[in-house]
Amino acid sequence: MALSRTGRVARRLRRTGLQAIPSVLGIVIFNFLLLQLAPGDAADVIAGASGAATAETMAALRAQLGLDHSMLHQLGAYLWNLAHLRLGISAHFNMPVGVLILQRLPNTLLLMITALLLALTFGIAAGAVMATFAGRWADRLLSILALLFYSVPGFWAGLTLIIIFSVRLQWLPSDGFTTVGADLTGIAYARDLLAHLVMPAVSLSLFFLAIYARLTRAAMLEVARQDFVRTAEAKGLSAFTVTVRHILRNALVPVSTVAGLHIGMLMGGSIVTETVFGWPGLGSLAYEAVFARDFNLLLAIVLLSAIVVIIANVLIDLLHTWLDPRVEAI
Amino acid sequence: MRAYLSRRIFSAMAGSMLLVPPLVARADTPKRGGTLKFLVEPEPTSLVPIADTTGANVMISAKVTEGLFNYGLDFSLRPSLATGLQTSVDGKEMTFTLRQGVKWHDGQPFTSADVAFSIETLKKYHPRGKATFANVAEIRTPDDHTVVLVMSLPAPYLINALAGQESPIIPRHIYDGSNPLANPHNNAPIGTGPFVFKDWQRGNFILLERNPDYWDQPKPYLDRIIVRTIPDAAARSVALETGEVDIGGEYLVPLSDMGRLGSLPQLGIETQGYAYSPNVHRIEFNLDNPYFKNLPVRQAVAHAINKDILLRTVWYGFGVVTTGPIHPDVARFYTADVVKYAFEPSTAEKLLDEAGFRRGEDGVRFSVMHDPLPIGLMHMQTGEYIKQALGKVGIKVTLRSQDMAGYIKRVFTDRQFDFTNGAMTNGPDPTLGVQRFYWSKNFRPGVPFSNASHFSNPDVDRLLEAAQSEIDLHKRAEDFYGFQRIVVQELPDITPIAVKLFTIYNKKVKNHTLTADGIHCNLADVYIDS
């Protein structure tokens, strides 16, 4: 049983991998063509930021960046490089794209995963409380909070947190990833990182937290009316066991489905959060890449994001089979 | 060293160059040690401004990579890698004496070959270098510590362009034989400066450490400089307020925050240190536009705009109302003796009526689009004011915004614009920073920051070209006076505000502004008073 299950997981992963190739290729080509519609190129941006240019320096820049070739030639060259796992050189940062992205990816994953875990933990807990006490004051209060978190824009939440905790109370640093130049190690480093992580992770998670709370509440109320719940109650199980093992567990299927879809949204949302908090992640990198017309970099980030989303979807499928044995995900 | 200096620095151009002692720290004796947290925005794209002179690159570069000279607050020449300069009477031969015993950060000796190589590279790749070194016909290096520039024509502006931020001296042994645009050391510079490059974590920080072997002992005083970037404007203000960063300058925080930040006891504001490259705000017309090609229409626009309101509301007083394209801080070449356009909407209406652009039934004479330069808030807000002010005299203005790449393409390549507003940098000399916008031979579609208005005036061309090679300072000033008079008369652009850029700093940071380029300079003198 165990062996065949592992075999099925492997088969599933292989199939997903094969399906991913054409999707990723399509994403790359589509984005490449889309980016061509943006007016101006990286040489224009460099000249614009430099505040000066001559015809010769523009030509030298375009030759250096490979922008002096036709669009199809550039696309062909890009795909050829990609096939050899070369992501090219960033025009804006003037360094290999692969190095640049690998520096930032762990930061963004840390922020995303922390935010997702925060949102899921507190969202599901709040949802469970709301469903259990549906219609009573605890439900009402949490509903108002959820509505508030849902409607507050991420950057506003971020700035408000900064004003409260950095400017007024001076408890948390307003910006960055770790204290630069502090040369911390071990526990001190982890604590420093955590202090920097709290506010961005919280402000990124609020919106999703609200969604999961509402969703958990609705799903639990729905499940609570099902026959098997009545059976469980009739068996004489305690109210807590029924709520957690029978109602909540079944309610988690829609929540986890939505959470899986949200991985992509989290990556998008991290652009704003990373900008507000100066968090050196992929989101702020993508933001800069757009304005710099740094297509090598932007395409690589899009590619990576697509891969992250594909992986997340596979993980969610696997999670579903665990939550609900009836689901034949493999 | 001082005595050596005063013997060696002299000039054949009488009066144009003064002997000055090295920079003297103000008041207290500097203290050794400490870390300076320097805020820039946006993050630099390279640390050696050879081809990419983005503001942030230029601001950080000179801490590591120095130039031949520094410039005092009064623009007087101060020795750096060069200790002396002799210019022949005809201005066609410039002999630089280089400092001895200077080493690159990798231990190699600094020699005249490095200077010759740097000038050749800048002439080829630097966006202003081609103009700066245009007349350099030959570079001779008779010995390791002498460089002779042989000029085809005198280049009186060249002497002003040798600061580290404008003309960095790079190590030949690192760059020779490679494409300087792709050299990895642009991101990990090796210079001769007071600070050694240590680390750059993109999106996070740049770490520079004290150079213990710096040629100007006991400087530098700081142990290290940490360069930070904070992408969000509000977060930048907060970081200055909470002391998370110590110093920064130029367009760093929204001007609307300056009232609050300026009132904080721990922060100071310094408006000196920007004369090396002062900014003038301009509203530039496309002279190929069917409306703006008429001088009376441009005059009407000039009369319809209240410069005082712009200064007060858009610039929060960080500037002065000015008269023409040369910044008043460039005192040697500025003249106020030009035509003035008083704020008189009635005159504007009269001019428009006479030009044949009468109000239609809806009160509108004609409609145009306005494209503000997409940097900071000031240009968009200026656009909003222009829309309002011109609306009152019957010109309907629609604002259009785009990002930098889109703006450059629209204005300079496609020329699909009616009029625009943005700040221009005067550069270290009007020949380098101002001429490019008004010289008819620099009408070159496709080249950013060229003559976008398509202004063409033979007298202006003649005066600008004369000023390029005039070695008599007074005659050169007369050329620029004449240039300003014609430009303000002909109005290819309106120049309402001479911008006052500023440094915002924590008051414990001392000696940050001793030169005309302030915190753009090498910061060797900076110390932290705890």
At B416-470, the pLDDT tens digits run: 999 999 988 888 899 999 999 999 998 988 888 889 999 999 999 999 999 999 9
Quote the pLDDT of residue B1: 33
Token digits for A212? 């999961």
Chain B residues with CB-CB distance to A163 below 8 A? 238
Question: Which residues fall within 8 angstroms of residue B405, CB to CB, at 6 or more apart?
Answer: A38, A39, A40, A41, A42, A44, A45, A48, A291, A292, A293
Rounded distance, CA B99 to CA B112, Å?
10
The answer to whether B246 faces chain A, any CB pair under 8 Å, is: no
Residue B369 pairs with which residues in a beta bridge? B398
pLDDT 10s digits, B331-360: 889 999 999 999 999 999 999 999 999 999
pLDDT 10s digits, B3-46: 333 333 433 333 334 344 445 545 568 889 899 999 998 888 88
Q: DSSP character for A145?
A: H
Quote the pLDDT of residue B68: 96
Q: Output the CA–CA distances (angstroms, integers) from residue B353 to B290, B350, B366, B394, in the order listed.
A: 16, 5, 12, 10
Contact across the interface for B52 and A275, Cβ inside 8 Å = no
Residue of B nearest to A169 (CA): B242
pLDDT in tens, chain B (530 residues): 333 333 334 333 333 343 444 455 455 688 898 999 999 988 888 899 988 888 889 999 999 999 999 999 888 899 999 999 999 989 899 999 999 999 999 999 999 999 999 999 999 888 888 889 989 999 999 999 999 999 999 999 999 999 999 999 999 999 998 888 888 899 999 999 999 999 998 888 999 999 999 999 899 999 999 999 888 888 888 889 888 899 999 888 888 888 889 899 999 999 999 989 899 999 999 999 999 999 999 999 999 999 999 999 999 999 999 999 999 989 889 999 999 999 999 999 999 999 999 999 999 999 999 999 988 789 999 999 999 999 999 999 999 988 888 898 899 989 999 999 998 888 889 999 999 999 999 898 888 888 999 999 999 999 999 999 998 999 999 999 999 999 999 999 999 999 999 999 999 999 999 999 999 999 999 999 87
B315 contacts B366 by C-beta, under 8 angstroms = no
Q: What is the mean pLDDT of residues A19-46?
A: 83
The answer to whether A177 faces chain B, any CB pair under 8 Å, is: yes
Interface with chain A: mutation pick from B35, B38, B52, B223, highest number of A CBs within 10 Å:
B52
Instruction: State how far residue A261 is from chain B, nearest Cα, in angstroms.
Output: 28
Residue B147 pairs with which residues in a beta bridge? B96
The answer to whether B295 faces chain A, any CB pair under 8 Å, is: no
The answer to whether A68 faces chain B, any CB pair under 8 Å, is: no
Rounded distance, CA B42 to CA B289, Å?
34
Q: What is the mean pLDDT of residues A109-138?
A: 89
Quote the pLDDT of residue A138: 85
Quote the pLDDT of residue B15: 34
Q: In one letter, which amino acid is A265?
A: M
Residue of A nearest to B433 (CA): A52
Chain B residues with CB-CB distance to A39 below 8 A? 402, 405-406, 409-410
Supply the pTM of this predicted model: 0.80
Q: What is the mean pLDDT of residues A159-166?
A: 85
B281 contacts B385 by C-beta, under 8 angstroms = no
Rounded distance, CA B79 to CA B104, Å?
18
Contact across the interface for A54 and B229, Cβ inside 8 Å = no
The candidate with the shortest Cα–Cα distance to B434, out of B502, B488, B483, is B483
- Mean of the per-residue pLDDT values of chain A: 83
Chain B residues with CB-CB distance to A285 below 8 A? 202-203
Residues 111-130 of B with CB under 8 A from A: 124-128, 130
Question: Which residues fall within 8 angstroms of residue A187, CB to CB, at 6 or more apart?
Answer: none
Contact across the interface for B408 and A44, Cβ inside 8 Å = yes
Quote the pLDDT of residue B381: 93
Quote the pLDDT of residue B179: 85
CB nearest to A95's CB, from B187, B224, B425? B187
Instruction: Report whether pLDDT(A8) > 70.
Output: no
Contact across the interface for B230 and A51, Cβ inside 8 Å = no
- Structure confidence at residue A327 as a pLDDT band (50, 70, 90): low
Residue of A nearest to B44 (CA): A93
Residues 213-272 of A with CB under 8 A from B: none
Contact across the interface for A60 and B125, Cβ inside 8 Å = yes
Chain A residues with CB-CB distance to B405 below 8 A? 38-42, 44-45, 48, 291-293
All structural domains of chain B, each given as residue ranges with its CATH number in brackets, are: 279-499 (3.10.105.10)
The answer to whether A170 faces chain B, any CB pair under 8 Å, is: yes
B428 contacts B159 by C-beta, under 8 angstroms = no
The answer to whether B267 faces chain A, any CB pair under 8 Å, is: no
Chain B residues with CB-CB distance to A93 below 8 A? 45, 187, 202
Q: DSSP character for B521?
A: S
Q: Which segments of A68-185 does DSSP mark as H helices, in order?
A: 71-83, 97-132, 137-151, 154-161
Chain A residues with CB-CB distance to B410 below 8 A? 39
Rounded distance, CA B342 to CA B365, Å?
22
Report the length, in residues, of chain A: 330
Q: Output the CA–CA distances (angstroms, integers) from residue A259 to A91, A220, A308, A327, in the order listed.
A: 35, 16, 14, 17
The answer to whether A212 faces chain B, any CB pair under 8 Å, is: no
- The three-state secondary structure class of A227 is helix
Q: Give the A:B interface size as CB pairs under 8 Å.
A: 188
